[in-house]
Amino acid sequence: MKEKYLNLNYNNVLPFVELSDLKLMQKEINQARKTLDEKTGLGNDYIGWTNLVDEISPELIDDIQITAKKIKKQSDVLVVIGIGGSYLGAKAAIEYMKPYFPKRKSLEVVFAGQNLSSTYLSELLDYLKKKDFTVNVISKSGTTTEPAVAFRAIKQLLEEKYSYDEVKERIIATTDASKGALRTLADQEGYKTYIVPDDIGGRFSVLTPVGLLPIAAAGIDIKKMLRGAKAAKRNYKVKDIYKNDVHMYVALRNLLYRKGFALELLVNNEPKLNYFSEWWKQLFGESEGKDLKGLFVSSASFTTDLHSLGQFIQEGKKVLFETMIDIQEPEKDLYIGHDKNNLDQLNYLENKSVDYVNRQALKGTMLAHLDGQTPNMLITIPKIDAYSFGYLVYFFELACGISGYVLNVNPFNQPGVESYKKNMFALLDKPGYESLSKELKERI
């Protein structure tokens, strides 16, 4: 039998759940999976991601790669403007695969519009003044405040640096197919455009042009990434939770939630996964946190965060469980040498690799946290590459869709996100918000 590409070890959760609970959960997951597959549930008009890897056209992938080559030829920097799903997926992929300390000059991918920091945007503009750069602005509407503010400022800098015709060649818009402010501008100015699919929400869009263009421009093999996602789609069709790690993961996280473990901590022992964790937090937090339901999702990087969060996880209030991701083969490794004085008392580790030490630290942590009554499960993948990234993305997207239906919420909307926007618009005196503006200003 072929070894599974991804493995879920849940032994350290079993002491906290009953086998009878798992049997009942199987029925709930069967129904949730059927709802997702048959597109009969809440938000069913936003589940195009389920079949994306089978339906994305080779011509589109080739076109993205051609555009990526053009960007690299004409620019030192690609500025990706977007927020939420319009930036986190690409950022996660690039951080996942790029070297910590690149040795050769390559296209630099930077991000804007993901915050409203005046300092960040000002320093970015100063940095770009001395660089040749291209902009990929990503917004379905073109009016989302954070990316719209950034695009206005960066577009102005482009117009100061380059001729009108060259500016048109240095702006790529990823937006709606037919409507919205950014689509109107792109059509008027003749920008190169890619389409944000109507049936895929932002947090599920990393394998669409939203994520694929900046990822390809960073030199990452997007075809390999899509093959990984396609393999995951193929491997998780069986219903039995004991034969389907996605279904078992959904079962266990929901059972733990029902038993009072209200927070899920995604843990890695390789910092290249830090931004993958940020993408994961949006995926689950925005999908499940509604109708007064859902796990609070957070993340940590071990062993770093063991020196800050470890005490609480070990001995604090039992409100969380851990989902850990482990990479079997490090990209690089080194061995610990001999020191004749041994003042650091590390000679017992002589000829052992740093990755071996890291792996034993993770195992020891899992056992310690289990002894401290913190459930944990371990997801293991072979190595860091484009294939494994695509595989993990589909694993968690599928888990998120099914889990949302188990919770009986709409996993594909985010009505709560609009609340802060309304207040912000009112406090900024945006036309149409006058009555709310008066009310809020009286409150503060």
Same domain, 25 and 120: no
Structure tokens at 7: 């493995």
Amino acid at 233: K
Do 347 and 256 belong together in one domain?
yes
Residue 388 lies in a domain: yes
Residue 28 is part of a domain; what is its CATH number? 3.40.50.10490
CA-CA distance, 338 to 157, in Å (whole number)? 55
Q: Which residues contact 60 (CB under 8 A, 6 or more apart)?
A: 209
**What is the predicted pLDDT for the residue at 435?**
75
**Residues 92, 133: one domain?**
yes
Q: Number of structural domains, the chain? A: 2
- In a domain? residue 266: yes
Which of 170, 202, 220 represents a domain boundary (last residue)? 220
Residue 230 to residues 7, 199, 223, 279, 417, Cα–Cα distance (Å) = 17, 18, 10, 19, 31
Q: Which residues of the chain have pLDDT under 50?
A: 1
**Pairwise CA distance, residues 371 & 366, whole Å:** 9
59 and 190 both lie in a single domain:
yes
- Choosing from 199, 220, 241, the residue where a domain stops is 220
Looking at the annotation, which residues are catalytic?
286, 421
Asked if 78 and 132 sit in the same domain, the reply is: yes
pLDDT digits (tens, 9 = 90+) for 382-420: 999 999 999 999 999 999 999 999 999 999 988 866 778
Looking at the domain assignment, is residue 164 inside a domain? yes
Please give the span between the terminal C-alpha atoms of the chain, in angstroms, as a whole number: 65
Q: HSE (CB half, 13 Å, CA atoms) of 24? A: 7
**DSSP track, 288-332:** H--TT---EEEEEETTGGGGTTHHHHHHS-S-EEEEEEEESS-SS
d(CA 69, CA 303): 38
Tokens 């610990």 belong to 336
Check residue 3 and give its pLDDT.
Answer: 66
DSSP codes joined into one string, 138-182: E-SSS--HHHHHHHHHHHHHHHHHS-HHHHHHTEEEEE-SS-SHH
- Structural domain includes residue 362: yes
In a domain? residue 349:
yes
Neighbours of 354 (CB within 10 A): 14
Does residue 237 share a domain with residue 214? no
pLDDT at 1: 38
Q: Which residues contact 91 (CB under 8 A, 6 or more apart)?
A: 111, 275, 278, 279
Fill in the amino acid letter for 236: Y
Residue 130: inside a domain: yes
Kindly report the pTM of this predicted structure. Answer: 0.94
Domain that includes residue 236, residue range: 7-40+225-407
Instruction: Answer yes or no: do 34 and 70 share one domain.
Output: no
Domain boundary among 220, 241, 257: 220
Q: Is residue 180 located within the same domain as residue 104? A: yes
CA distance 139 to 108: 21
SS (H, E, C) 55-119: HCCHHHHHHHHHHHHHHHHHCCEEEEECCHHHCHHHHHHHHHHCCCCCCCCCCEEEEECCCCCHH
Residues 216 and 336 in one domain: no
Q: Give residue for tokens 């996660």.
A: 92
Same domain, 252 and 395: yes
| Residue 76 CB contacts under 8 Å (≥ 6 apart), including other chains | 107, 108, 131, 132, 133
pLDDT recorded at residue 2 = 53
Please indicate, yes or no, if residue 416 is contained in any of the structural domains. no
Nearest to 399 by CA among 300, 284, 299: 284
279, 326: one domain: yes
Three-state DSSP state, 263: strand
pLDDT of 420: 80
Is 94 within a domain? yes
d(CA 47, CA 203): 11
Q: State whether 189 and 214 are in the same domain.
A: yes
Q: What is the DSSP letter of 285?
A: H
